Homo-oligomer: A and B are copies of this chain.
Amino acid sequence: MTSLPSPRIDGERLWSSLMEMARIGPSPMGGSRRLALSEDDVAGRRLLLAWTDALGCEWRSDQAGNLFIRRPGRDDSLAPIAVGSHLDTQPLGGRFDGVLGVLAGLEVFRTLHDQGITTERPLELIVWTNEEGSRFSPAMGGSGVYSGRLSLETFREAKDRAGISLGEALDDSGFKGSLTRRDLPLGAYLELHIEQGPVLERKGLPLGVVTGVQGLRWYDLEFVGESAHAGPTPMGFRHDPLMAATAFVEAMRETVLADPEGASRLTVGDFQVTEPSRNVIPGKVTLHVDVRHTDEDQLTVLDGQLRAHVAAAAGRESVEAQVKELWHMPVTRFDTTLVNDLSAAARAVGHEPFTMMSGAGHDAVNISYVAPTAMLFIPCRDGISHNEREYAEPEHCTIATQVMCDALLRAAERH
């Protein structure tokens, strides 16, 4: 028999809140589409605030529009213990990525409210702005501004495809505040998230305690050749930037697959031909490249290999190439005390903790620079996320939220 910690969270209430949130900005195949600071993203935040208003919680927002929803403690002079994630989604996103972390925090608040429990430290439920980065680049912008790792100016200047800046969208959202991290210090930060990968599911585990996050580097690659008519230009006389780009992708793929630990990742998220025409050799091709590794030294090696492959591919096709690094997020290691809190809480619900590195970046990475931080993962079906078919088992959501509740209470009693 496992000994559940009290208080017990309500898994059915959690699930029904997840499903209600998913109906805001529904996507065609049953997922969600709440692009950062869109009308639907704002509506999702309003729904959450209606729920926390009912618990008597007050909310504040900072300059980046991050929401801080407060549950007072016995000693409100102490820095709060925070729980949170994000409510924005990919263009065709799922119902759990981000949302679960926020609504797990809501469920903890509801449980404590129902049972009349007051913690020593105050608690803070946080919704970070623009985690996904798909409407406005870079991703994890709100937590970036909060932590000081991204300037407010850069954050606000990012534009979507329609030319609307994040700053304009934020000003219109009603969530722009004047506070900064000085006004909103955190004693600790815990985030529950779906794994967004296949590891827990393949191992048949209901949860994983996350000890850190793999590093990533984002690049824009540009190959510039010579646009010319397709038919009469012999292959050997061409300066074809598209074939340089495909040569680069194939070579970089080989490099990544050669990693004996399988810890290297390569994703080409976009491949654009400028002024495409069916019977014209392209003049310019642009790639968006995402490279990741769990070891910072190996990530540096991958960066060098990428640059070498770009140069070789451009040389093969006699074209010019440019590598522009947009973003470098180094490998992150989380706080040992909080990792231990989560491990102890997992044991308390009868699960020997499995520790793992995250493959995805999260707001928790930014927060780890300014407060003790750790994360908890649950499996998602087939490892799929950023997809309408993303799915997490209700049972896993319940177990993990129980673990989060227990870990938050442990941290909130500590001075």
* A contacts, CB < 8 Å to B: 90-92, 97, 133-134, 137, 139, 195-199, 214, 216, 218, 226-237, 240, 242-243, 245-247, 249-250, 253, 256-257, 262, 264-273, 275-283, 285, 288, 290, 292, 358-361, 383-387
Q: How far is the CB of A305 from chain B (nearest CB, A)?
A: 15
Chain B residues lying within 8 Å of A285, measured Cβ to Cβ, are 271
Tell me if B387 and A265 are in contact (CB < 8 A): no
- Minimum CB distance partner of A213 in chain B: B231
Are A249 and B243 interface neighbours, CB within 8 A? yes
A82 to chain B, nearest CB (A): 23
- Would you call A242 and B262 a contact (CB within 8 A)? no
Tell me whether B288 and A269 are in contact (CB under 8 A): no
* Alpha-carbon distance between A367 and B384 when the two chains are bound, in angstroms: 54
Instruction: Take A267-B279, A271-B273, A277-B386 as given contacts and tell me if A256 and B229 are in contact as well, using a CB distance cutoff of 8 Å.
Output: no
Q: Which residue of B lies closest to A276 (CB)?
A: B270
Contacts A133-B279, A278-B134 given; does A360 touch B214 at CB 8 Å? no
CA distance A228 to B257 in the complex (A): 18
Counting every copy of the chain, the complex holds: 2
Bound-state CA distance A276–B283 (Å) is 21
Question: How far, in whole Å, are A197 and B59 apart by their CA atoms in the complex?
Answer: 68
7 cross-chain pairs, A with B, having the tightest CB-CB distances, nearest first: A197-B232, A232-B359, A270-B276, A230-B267, A231-B359, A231-B360, A246-B249
Q: Quick one: closest B residue to A270, CB to CB?
A: B276
Which B residues are CB-close (under 8 A) to A272? 271-273, 276
Pull 19 A–B residue pairs with CB atoms less than 8 Å apart, ordered by A.
Answer: A90-B280, A91-B277, A134-B277, A137-B278, A139-B279, A197-B232, A199-B232, A228-B384, A230-B292, A231-B290, A231-B292, A232-B385, A235-B266, A245-B246, A250-B250, A269-B282, A270-B282, A277-B386, A278-B290
Asked whether, in the complex, the Cβ of A228 is within 8 Å of the Cβ of B383, the reply is yes
Checking B237, B267, B280, B358 against A281 with a beta-carbon cut-off of 8 angstroms, the contacting residue is: B267
Give the residue name and chain of the B residue nearest to A356 (CB). Answer: B232
Chain B residue nearest to A387 (CB atoms) is B227
Are A269 and B280 within 8 A (Cβ)? yes
Partner of A383, one of B232, B253, B288, B386: B232
A232-B360, A234-B262 known, 6 other contacts, Cβ within 8 Å: A227-B387, A230-B292, A231-B290, A236-B262, A237-B383, A279-B290
CA distance A91 to B282 in the complex (A): 12
Contacts of A270 in B (CB 8 A): 273, 276-278, 282
Which of A196, A228, A231, A235 has the most CB atoms of chain B within a 10 A radius of its CB? A231
Specify which chain B residues have a CB less than 8 angstroms from the CB of A214 in the assembled complex.
231
**B232 touching A278, Cβ below 8 Å:** no
Contact, CB under 8 Å: B264 / A235: yes
CB nearest to A357 among chain B residues? B232
**Nearest CB in chain B: distance from A396 CB, A:** 16
CB-CB under 8 A from A359, the residues of chain B are 229, 231-233
Residue among A277, A290, A387 with max Cβ neighbours from chain B (10 Å): A277
- Roughly how many angstroms separate A90 CA and B383 CA in the complex, as a whole number? 45
Asked if A231 and B246 make an inter-chain contact with CB atoms under 8 angstroms apart, the answer reads: no
Least distance between A111 CB and chain B CB atoms (Å): 29
Q: Nearest chain B CB to A106's CB is how many angstroms away?
A: 24
